[in-house]
Structure 1
Amino acid sequence: MKFTLFALSTALLGANAFQPSTFGVRPVMQLQSTATETKAFPKLPASVKPGVVTGKALEDLLNHAKDKGFAMPGVNIVGSNSINACMEAAKVYGGPIMVTFSKGGGAYIAGKAADNTDDAASIAGCIAGAKHVREVAKLYGVPVILHTDHCQKAWLPWIDGLLEASEEYYKLHGEPLFSSHMLDLSEEPLEENIAICKEYMEKFAKVDILLEFELGVTGGEEDGVDNSDVDSSRLYTQPEEVMYAYEQLSQVPNAMFTCAASFGNVHGVYAPGNVDLQPVILHNTQKYMQEKLGGEAKPMKFVFHGGSGSSVDDIQYAIEAGVIKMNIDTDTQWAYWDGIRKYEAEHHDYLQGQIGNPDGAEIPNKKYYDPRMALRSGEEAMRDRLIQSAKDLKCTDVL
């Protein structure tokens, strides 16, 4: 009977319908359908699907952004409200989004009263936030990158804890919990910076995590990292430094990395004209590397930290040099607060007590002081600011 079924299948499907494999006989048609991926987004590589993007799909997405000339917003978040605002914005503007956790943001998500001995709260909060993203990201129908921000040398135990979580997640699901991590060792000598990055790159590569490393220093202050008084010469990375890092990290099998090179960018709030941004440094670096390596015109994928106070022209000129992501925090923080502030101003007279408002002394105000009302206003304002950022980054309608 088995022979008859096999013979019938062969007659109907052809002599090559079945081939031996490690696991026994497998239909060729199944092999072919597995090899041919269905595109979820007409304008993106077939490997990129809705939800959290990791590994090869992440690398495909970033290479595509570099080739097509757009960058995605990388947004610092502090809870589910700001996470959801990010994904809602991406759904509206029609492009990918990078949701970024900081060490302080993770501690806040865990709760200000949580024990943060040995970074326990920072680690737990980031893991909880990442799991929230993974539960809801597909509902927004956009690619989402789970990233962590600045980790200086003293904070490496925080990343160790997150890496352990990704390793456990990888065992269960075949992909890491987080898409990528940033190591900011720019305060250390170049050789030490890259040596430590290389050690972590070897660990990351085993579970398909991308490394973002920093060369030079991003000025200003953000979330516990204060470079306000740094020597201005350190705000500008040299091409030779980028080339050295590229060569060292490329020695790691399966390595994926991006470079946060400094070209005058700063964290914080600055009036237009007060930031001496020099994106030409990135162009010169790409040219230098191409001459050394041969091959593609823009061998390095750059990321842009500290975009506050930068002109749209400078931002887009940096994108032309291979910037595929720009960090956004200061402006979205203000937008979120501004949304809440406007809500309070509009409904002020209905927010002064549980009962009693201009419509009557005994009318309840619950629908106005429900926390979801004010928080939703913050989400909407943050969403709208990110939509504007996506336009500046040429990241709209790219799916």
Structure 2
Amino acid sequence: MALVNSIEMFKKAYEGGYAVGAFNVNNMEIIQGIVSAAQAENAPLILQVSAGARKYANPIYLKKLVEAAIEETGLDIVLHLDHGEDFEICKACIDDGFSSVMIDGSKYPLEENIALTKRVVDYAKQFGVTVEGELGKLAGVEDAVKVSSKDATYTDPDEAVEFVERTGVDSLAIAIGTSHGAYKFKGEPSLDFARLEVITSKLPGFPLVLHGASSVPEEFVALCNKYGGEIPGARGVPEEMLRQAAKSGVCKINIDTDLRLAMTASIRQTFVEHPSEFDPRKYLGPGRDAIQKMVQHKIKNVLGASGKR
């Protein structure tokens, strides 16, 4: 099919009460596992690239791998920049052929965030590229994004309305209690659904985004623990909360940490059970299968996006 922007995907998701998975990619096997899962589930798909992944794998390689996935599967895919920190990286990705970008100005005061985001929007619209902004600060760590718990702030609903109206963004990442990284909640995880309801009431029909929504199934936690990668004792967001968010105006849920843990657990298992193995195909292949299994689980049981393509 084609490389597409997110407008139609989000419209259908909002009306259908489900969320589109935005899965972070770093190499060929991760892309293959994700697209195989989306094809098997007949689900809409966003593949997103962080600044770290862009530097690691080279944007040209990543774009060509995504084009190959489209050609092989017949899927429509959004290729999205995750957490673009300035105008220059957003422009570079747009010029490289990305169909969607995120400009993350959440670290700035509101007026600076609006100005930066609008500058990206004005450039992106010339090329039919959609733009995601962010308002509010999530705690946690993801690549270059590092925010302490004390500096985290929830999204103000009135500021969200002003931000959307003045920037012209196509979607908005909000902070309602999620956190970047793996297993980061010391207490009972919770999302501020009352705040989400107010935001959706003030921005009816507008697609919202959740970052920091890690929720690793127990079988993958057990694998990591069994094969030498014990996970710290805090917890991610319960999947039932993410399902509720997907029914409540959240049209895009970012998924990254879960994929890393699934692939790493599989690779560790291979090396523990076959310590003399040195053929990358013999450990990356099972890692790719673990990615597919994780993504299918997310599509069916968290996002509610099976059969929604």
Q: Shorter chain as normaliser: what TM range?
A: 0.7 to 0.9
Name which structure has the greater RCO, CA cutoff 8 Å, separation 6+: 2
Q: Does 1:157 align with 2:67?
A: no
1:1-399 superposed matches below 5 A: 50-54=1-5, 58-109=6-57, 125-153=58-86, 156-165=87-96, 177-232=97-152, 234=153, 236-250=154-168, 257-270=170-183, 274-289=188-203, 298-308=204-214, 309-348=236-275, 351=276, 369-391=278-300, 392-399=302-309
> Which residue of structure 1 aligns with residue 232 of structure 2?
none
1:307-337 per-position Cα deviation (integer Å, ceiling 9, x unaligned):
0211122112211221111111111101011
Helix, strand or coil at the partner of 2:264: helix
SS at match of 2:180: coil
Q: Secondary structure at the match of 2:83?
A: coil
Q: Which runs of 4+ in 1 moved over 4 A?
A: none
Correspondence for 1:39: none
**Contact 1:265/1:305 (<8 A) preserved:** yes
- Checking the alignment, whether the CA contact within 8 Å between 1:279 and 1:314 is kept in structure 2 is no
**AA at the equivalent of 1:263:** I
Contact 2:84 2:103 in 1 (8 A): yes
Q: With structure 1 as the length reference, what TM-score do the two structures score?
A: 0.68
CA contact (8 A) 1:95 1:143 kept: no
Q: 1:397 to 1:346 in 2, by over 3 A?
A: farther
- What is the CA–CA distance in structure 2 between the aligned matches of 1:215 and 1:379, rounded to whole Å? 34
SS of the residue 2:179 aligns to: coil
Amino acid at match of 2:114: I
* Residue identity in the other structure for 2:121: M
How many residues align? The count is: 286
Classify the secondary structure of the residue corresponding to 2:251. strand
Please report how far the alpha carbon of residue 229 of structure 1 lies from its aligned counterpart in structure 2 after TM superposition: 4.1
Instruction: Point out where structure 2 has 5 or more consecutive residues left out of the alignment.
Output: 215-235
In 2, the alpha carbon distance for the partners of 1:276 and 1:347 equals 41
Question: Counterpart of 1:365?
Answer: none
Letter in 1 for 2:179: V
SS of alignment partner, residue 198 of structure 1: helix
Secondary structure of the residue that 1:194 maps to in structure 2? helix
Identity, % of aligned pairs?
A: 29
In structure 2, what is the Cα distance between the partners aligned to 1:275 and 1:184? 24
Aligned-pair CA distance for 1:225 = 1.1
The whole-number CA distance in structure 1 between the counterparts of 2:184 and 2:93 is 36
Tell me how far apart the structure 2 counterparts of residues 97 and 265 of structure 1 sit (CA, whole Å).
22
CA RMSD after TM alignment: 1.7
d(CA) in 2 for partners of 1:215 and 1:271? 21
Q: Which residue identity does 2:290 align to in structure 1? A: A
* 1:246 aligned partner, one-letter code: V
Q: Distance in 1 between matches of 2:138 and 2:75?
A: 30
Ranges in structure 1 where 5+ consecutive residues have no aligned partner: 1-49, 110-124, 166-176, 251-255, 290-297, 352-367
Task: Tell me, in whole angstroms, the C-alpha distance in 1 between the residues paired with 2:249 and 2:151.
Answer: 26
* Whole-Å separation in 2 of the counterparts to 1:130 and 1:160: 15
C-alpha deviation, 1:276, in angstroms: 3.2
1:260 Cα deviation from its structure 2 partner? 0.1
TM-score when scaled to structure 2?
0.87
Q: Give 3-state SS (helix, strand or coil) of 1:98's partner.
A: strand
